[in-house]
Every structure is written in structure tokens, then in C-alpha cells.
Amino acid sequence: MSKISFLKLVSSSTGLFIILFLILHVSGNLKYFGGPDSLDNYALFLRIFGKEILGEYTFLNLFRIVLVIAFILHIWSTYLLTRYNAKASPQYESSLAYKSTTFSSKYMFVLGILALSFLVFHILHFTLGIIHPDGFEYLKVYNNVTISFKNTIYFLIYFIGVTVVSLHVSHGIWSAFQSLGFNYLFVKHARNFAKLFAMFLWIGFLSVPIFVYFFK
């Protein structure tokens, strides 16, 4: 297997894993609409899952480690692929194809950096409670979420953050299909699928902040 094929495999499989996590995460968030018990019990469930075999928190911590590794590998492989692609096509430097490739990789790079910054903020906010508008309480997820999205600044940060993540996912799925070598017709369908999927993710994630900010 060539180095490029290996990097493509790492980048697309870790991307897929992160997308699966996002699907799980967005479904978990929708428990907000079931009320405080529904969401808080879900957070507790995540902590005690597998406790008979592994002890409390072990499964969650293992999952966290795998997720962090997936993020690191994803960033590393996509960064190297972008560099290879730019180096491999210097002869196209003045062509439209080259310009569109460099535009799309610069766009993905900027979106990726913004998505990562949002993720760091998000973990400091909801997981660790270090940044919070008022009175973060461990395992009182419903309350922490409600207080946060009543605050305009936090609402706006999440609105922008979720939009950036959705755009990154949309473009990422499409370019993964493209770099896996699917033909033009399929790529067109893949592009529509990626947009539709990212839109579901965007609506799903933003449903909670919008509900809290405007209707609660």
C-alpha cells in the first residue's frame, strides 16, 4: 500500500468514526426535550456503563482516549494529504483545477482550526465546567445547558461553532468520496448526500440552543 493510500485510509476511517460519534452525540442531546431526568440520567448512564465488568468511568474514559486518538490521526493524516496533493500537482499551478483544490484545502484547513477551537472551548465549558456563565454543577447537565443557552454570548458561540463543524463535515464527506476515487456522477450524489447529512446535524445540534434561547 502506498503512503498516500494509507493516509487516505486513516483520514477517511477516523473521519467516519468522528461522524458516528457526532450522530450518537446529537441523539443524546435530543434527550434535553425529555426533561431534566431524561438528560441527567443519560449522562449518568454514560459514566456507569459497563461498571460490572470494568468499573465506573472506565468505558467512558476508554472511549474518550479512542476519540482523542481519532482526532489526532484525522488532523495528522489530512494535513499530510493536503501537502502531498499540493506538491504532486505543481504543473497545474495556474490551472482552474489547482486553484479550486488549493481553495478547498485552505477552506477546510481554516474550518478545521475553527472546529478544533470550538471543541476545546466546548470541553472546557460542558465537560470540565471551567468556563461557564453561572454555577456549573457536575452531572446537572440539563441545568448547565439551560443556563448556558440563556446567555447570548454562549448561544452565539455555539451557533457559530456548530455551523463551522457542519460545514467541515459536509465538505469532508464529499472530499473523502472524491479522494477515494468515485466517478463524477457518484461524486455529484455524494455531494448532495454530504450536504443533506450536514444539514441534519446542524438542525439537530442547534435545536437545543435555539429552543432554550428563544422559547424557554
Q: Tell me which stretch binds ligand HEM (CB under 6 A): 9-17, 96-104, 123-131, 183-191.
A: 123-131
Is 209 an interacting residue with respect to ligand HEM (CB under 6 A)? Answer: yes
The single residue listed with the C-alpha cell 501537502 is 83
Residues 173-179: contacts with CB under 8 Å, at least 24 apart:
173/15, 173/19, 173/197, 173/198, 175/104, 175/108, 176/11, 176/12, 176/15, 179/8, 179/11, 179/12, 179/81
Provide the H-helix boundaries in the chain: 3-29, 36-48, 51-54, 58-88, 96-122, 141-149, 152-179, 184-215
Using the rule CB under 6 A, which residue among 127, 137, 189, 200 binds ligand HEM?
A: 127
Q: Residue 101: which of 178, 190, 24, 214 has the closest Cα?
A: 178
Among 154, 155, 158, 174, binds ligand HEM (CB under 6 A): 158
Q: Which of 157, 162, 176, 212: binder of ligand HEM (CB under 6 A)?
A: 162
Angle value at C-alpha 158, between 121 and 33, nearest 5 degrees: 115
Contacts of residue 13, Cβ cutoff 8 Å, sequence gap at least 6: none
* Maximum pairwise Cα distance, the chain: 62
The dihedrals phi and psi of 126, each to the nearest 5 degrees, come to -90, -30
Q: For residues 66-105, which are near ligand HEM according to CB under 6 A? A: none
Q: How far is the CB of 193 from ligand HEM (least distance, A)?
A: 20
Compute the least distance from the CB of residue 143 to ligand HEM, in Å: 11
For ligand HEM, the binding residue among 36, 40, 57, 122 (CB under 6 A) is: 122
124 binds ligand HEM (CB under 6 A): no
Cell numbers for 1: 500500500
* Segment contacting ligand HEM by CB under 6 A, of 74-82, 92-100, 101-109, 205-213: 205-213
By CB under 6 A, how many residues form the interface with ligand HEM? Answer: 19
DSSP state of 130: S
Smallest distance, ligand HEM to C-beta of residue 25, A: 5
Q: Is 172 in the site for ligand HEM (CB under 6 A)?
A: no
Site membership for ligand HEM, residue 165 (CB under 6 A): yes
Window 25 to 44, contacts with ligand HEM (CB under 6 A): 25, 29, 43
Return residues touching ligand HEM (CB under 6 A): 22, 25, 29, 43, 46, 64, 119, 122-123, 126-127, 141, 145, 158, 162, 165, 205, 208-209
